Chains A and B, each alone.
Chain A
Amino acid sequence: MSLQTLTYLVVGLSFLAYIIIAIVSKAKTTGDFYVAGKHVHPIANGMATAADWMSAASFISMAGLISFLGYGGSVYLMGWTGGYVLLALLLAPYLRKYGKFTVPEFIGDRYYSNGARAVAVVCLIFISFTYVAGQMRGVGIVFSRFLEVPVTIGVLIGMGIVFFYAVLGGMKGITYTQVAQYCVLIFAYTVPAVFIAMQITGNPVPQLGLGSTLAHEHTYLLEKLDGLVTDLGFRAYTEGDKSTIDMFMITLALMVGTAGLPHVIVRFFTVPRVSDARKSAGYALLFIAILYTTAPAVGAMARFNLVNTLQPGKVGSAEGNLAYAERPAWFRTWEETGLLHFEDRNGDGRIQYFNDANPEYAARAEGYGWKGNELKVDADIMVLANPEIARLPDWVIALIAAGGIAAALSTAAGLLLVISSSISHDLLKGILMPGITEKDELRASRVAAAFAIMVAGYLGYNPPGFVAQVVAFAFGLAAASLFPAILMGIFSKRINKAGAIAGMLTGLVFTFCYIVVYKGVFFAPLRENIPANWLFGISPEGIGVIGMLLNFGVAFVVSRLGEEPPLEVQQMVEEIRVPRLTGT
């Protein structure tokens, strides 16, 4: 069977599974639609959360980023896992105790104001749409690379599948499809990693392989890798190039942002009890950690493979570099997609891959007769081409396609659900038409989900310029707006309506403006995005932390100036702090 047919078969089977699950778990009530009837087992919820959380970026791009950033890539590893500690300790159990359906609903009730609720809806929709556009794009790209259909058709197929199970099943359908999607994606991710770890280090566990010696010599992998890349003018793999303050701020912004993402928070509304919410966050992190501890191993080993392939001999010797005519088969395949690009600048027919941005190395390179780096490598290739580099069977390659699509679809569905429930439940039922019946609300949420899918599909097909900046935006805004508002709502009885609204708006506007100024969204950046220009040396990726601090500060001061929240609100805070009320 050809690879093409096999890929169609594997991806087709995974789709069939999602559709069957969707039909079996159709939502009958708004409770089913918004929070899966609060019947989800904590382990199932953990898997669903993991799939919800791990997007096309985690699956396809993260290991590649780490492989080029080395130590600097740690911001993603720590930042995208540490947020679950914050969720489990500071938010999830209390929001579960609160026991209603959406994040804006909590903010509206706690700050006794439809205004606060509306601000939260705006934050939520903005965060979720920027994020979902990237997912739809990811679906389209995986389709076009592995199934060779145009990106547009890929986006349409992806929309169709999500439409089917999100609109029909709501949260209930999404939850159980996400469990299936988690299994597909984690299997697809770890199988090639195990084989590659075996080949390079002789240890089948990638996490241990990263710290092992090489299979045929007594040098540690990381030590060897440091030597290989510094010989080519790159920074040592285990050292970073970001300043300490920037590492610190980016990691913190990603952690707090994770804890503030509505589609993640809402997953903890679906478990039966408060104690389940605490445990479930642990299971979610466990399932996430399987991929997140494999990724640094994949990154280091892929970089090792890449450098060894391109530089089989001594650096600087005439025969040290790979001759272009002798390039391996996977090299040719990925050249066709444009992810690898070779240009023979010095005309010697060999590939020189080195860091030509390093001025100290330039003289040496010139001495070797090299005229600049000749190979451009897209970071995404590190995961996508892994099975081919390791010469794994075709079914593993087909699995990578199904895994990438599963990662993108599961995240997209989770995001679309929070968008539709904030429209039907918060805007419609909560603010505009309080008298609406449950049946009509359920219908409205389906229409809203369908509408959100259309918009997401359009954004995926026709991405605005800022899709690449989605990460900075979604996390920065979640960190600066929703997270502080929810946290203060639980841990302080003193923060009042005016304080919360002023805080959220300050955090939101500050973070939004900072990112726009340096990244440029609808126009060219106003200031060049370089460390010398940044406020306190903090890049736009890490600025959400300052937005969060401003949010806390403004909310505190404004609340002190005004009156205490009404007694019934203080009572509500008391109640969400304990799993079960006793006495009085």
Chain B
Amino acid sequence: MPDNKGPDSRQAYWRANLRLVGLCLAIWFAVSYGCGILLVEPLNRIEFFGFKLGFWFAQQGSIFVFLLLIFFYAWRMNALDRAFGVEEQETTEKDIA
């Protein structure tokens, strides 16, 4: 278990977060800009259930991947919050004020 207290663990938490963000953004870029735009022509030669693959990524596939990415990130971050002991308690009235 990492140390829950102090700036060192906070740095480690932040680095782990940045790694996760980096990974997710790499996938985000690859499906939309990569498969949907830059590589669309070679991919269009591949048939994917009645779609040209590049066209499918541009019109449907990237949206599905975006969706999975956000829920994946939320799930991994909740785990990370707990591992570093920085998860939130139940909301208190103080939080709202």
Which residue numbers of A lie inside 8 Å of B, CB to CB?
31, 37-39, 66, 71, 73-74, 77-78, 81-82, 84-85, 88-90, 93, 99, 207, 210-213, 220-223, 238-239, 244, 247-248, 251-252, 272-275, 278-279, 281-282, 285-286, 289, 292-293, 296, 574, 577-584
Chain B residues near A577: list those with CB within 8 A. Answer: 10, 13-14, 17
Which B residues lie within 8 Å of A281 (CB)?
A: 70, 74
B59 touches A74 (CB 8 A): yes
Chain B, Cβ-Cβ closest to A97: B88
* The residue from A66, A222, A296, A580 contacting B88, defined by CB atoms under 8 A apart: A580
Give the docked Cα–Cα distance between A469 and B77 (Å).
Answer: 39
Residues of B close to A252: CB separation below 8 A: 33
Task: Name the residue of chain A whose CB is nearest to the CB of B55.
Answer: A238
Cα(A282)–Cα(B62), bound, Å: 14
CB-defined A-B contacts under 8 Å, sample of 6: A88-B74, A207-B60, A286-B67, A577-B10, A577-B17, A580-B81
Contact with A along B21-58 (1 / 0, CB 8 A): 10011001000110011101000100011111001101
Interface contact B6-A71, CB-CB below 8 Å:
no
Chain A residues whose CB sits within 8 angstroms of the CB of B77 once the complex forms: 93, 275, 278
Give Cα A71 to B6, complex, Å.
52
Question: Whole-angstrom distance between the alpha carbons of A548 and B81 in the complex?
Answer: 31
B51 touches A85 (CB 8 A): no
Instruction: Known contacts A275-B74, A278-B73; decide if A210 and B60 are in contact (CB<8 Å).
Output: yes
Residues of A with C-beta under 8 A to B14: 577-578
Nearest first, the 8 closest Cβ-Cβ pairs linking A and B are A583-B5, A74-B58, A211-B50, A282-B70, A278-B74, A220-B50, A296-B59, A272-B91
Cβ–Cβ contact A37 & B96, under 8 A:
yes
Q: How far apart are the CA atoms of A77 and B95 in the complex, in Å? A: 37
Other than the known A238-B55, A275-B87, A289-B66, what 7 A-B pairs have Cβ atoms closer than 8 Å?
A: A89-B21, A273-B91, A275-B77, A285-B67, A289-B67, A583-B5, A584-B6
Most-contacted residue by chain B among A82, A213, A577, A581 (CB, 10 A): A82
A38 touching B96, Cβ below 8 Å: yes
Q: Which of B9, B37, B48, B67 has the most CB of A within 10 A?
A: B37
Cα of A248 to Cα of B36 in the assembled complex, Å:
9
Q: Determine whether B63 belongs to the interface, using a CB cutoff of 8 Å to chain A.
A: yes
A222 and B86 contacting across the interface, CB-CB below 8 Å: no
Instruction: Let me know if A77 and B63 touch, CB within 8 A.
Output: yes
Q: Which residues of A contact B95 (CB under 8 A)?
A: 38, 99, 272
Query: How distant is A267 from chain B, measured CB to nearest CB, in Å?
Result: 15
Given contacts A38-B95, A282-B74, A85 and B66 within 8 Å (CB-CB): yes
Contact of A582 among B5, B17, B25, B36 (CB under 8 A): B5
**Cross-chain contact A579 with B52 (CB below 8 angstroms):** no
Complex partner residue of A84 from B38, B49, B70, CB under 8 angstroms: B70
Contact of B33 among A39, A71, A77, A248 (CB under 8 A): A248
**Measured between alpha carbons, how far is A194 from B33 in the docked complex, in Å?**
30
- Nearest B residue to A88, CB-CB: B70
The bracket for how many chain B residues form the interface is 35 or more
Q: Which residue of A lies closest to B38 (CB)?
A: A244
* Inter-subunit contact B32/A251 (CB<8 Å): yes
Partner of A244, one of B37, B44, B86: B37
B48 to chain A, nearest CB (A): 8
User: Please, how many angstroms separate the alpha-carbon atoms of A90 and B73 in the complex?
Assistant: 11
| Interface pair A582/B24, CB less than 8 Å apart | no
Contacts A38-B96, A211-B51, A244-B38 given: A579-B87 contact, CB under 8 Å? yes
Contacting B28 at CB < 8 Å: which of A77, A82, A282? A82
Contact across chains for B28 and A85 when beta carbons are under 8 A apart: yes
Q: In the complex the two chains form, what is the Cα distance from A547 to B33 in whole Å?
A: 19
State whether B24 touches A289 (Cβ < 8 A).
Answer: no
> Contacts of B87 on A, CB cut-off 8 Å?
275, 579-580
Cβ contacts under 8 Å, B64 to chain A: 289, 293
> Is the CB–CB distance between A71 and B55 below 8 Å?
yes
Known: A211-B49, A244-B37. Is A583-B4 also a contact (CB below 8 A)?
Answer: yes
Task: Say whether B24 contacts A77, CB under 8 Å.
Answer: no
Interface residues of B in 74-97 (CB under 8 A from A): 74, 77-78, 81, 84-89, 91, 95-97
Q: Are A275 and B81 in contact (CB-based, < 8 A)?
A: yes
Do the beta carbons of B7 and A584 come within 8 Å of each other? yes
Are B91 and A279 interface neighbours, CB within 8 A? no
Most buried by B among A71, A89, A93, A285: A89
Known contacts: A210-B60, A238-B44. The answer to whether A583 contacts B6 by CB under 8 A is: yes
Question: How many angstroms from the CA of A90 to the CA of B66 in the assembled complex?
Answer: 14
A210 to B61, CA, bound (A): 13
Q: Complex: how many Å from CA A578 to CA B10?
A: 8
Contact B56 A85 (CB under 8 A): no
Q: Provide the bound-state CA to CA distance between A285 and B78, in Å.
A: 19
CA distance A212 to B85 in the complex (A): 49
- In chain A, what residue has the closest Cβ to B92? A272
A292 to B70 Cα, complex, angstroms: 17
Q: A578-B10, A582-B85 are in contact. Are A248 and B37 (CB under 8 A)?
A: yes
Tell me whether B52 and A222 are in contact (CB under 8 A).
yes
| B24: chain A residues within 8 A (beta carbon) | 85, 89
Contact A580 B58, beta carbon cutoff 8 Å: no
A220 partner residues in chain B, CB cutoff 8 A: 50
A285 vs B62: C-alpha distance when bound (angstroms): 12
Q: A89-B25, A213-B50, A580-B86 are in contact. Are A77 and B59 (CB under 8 A)?
A: yes
| Interfacial chain A residues near B37, Cβ < 8 Å | 244, 247-248, 251
- Kindly list chain A residues whose C-beta atoms are within 8 Å of the C-beta of B21: 89-90
Residues of chain A within 8 A of B63, CB atoms compared: 77-78, 81, 289, 292-293
- Residues of A close to B70: CB separation below 8 A: 84-85, 88-89, 278, 281-282, 285
Complexed CA–CA distance, A583 and B81 (Å): 15
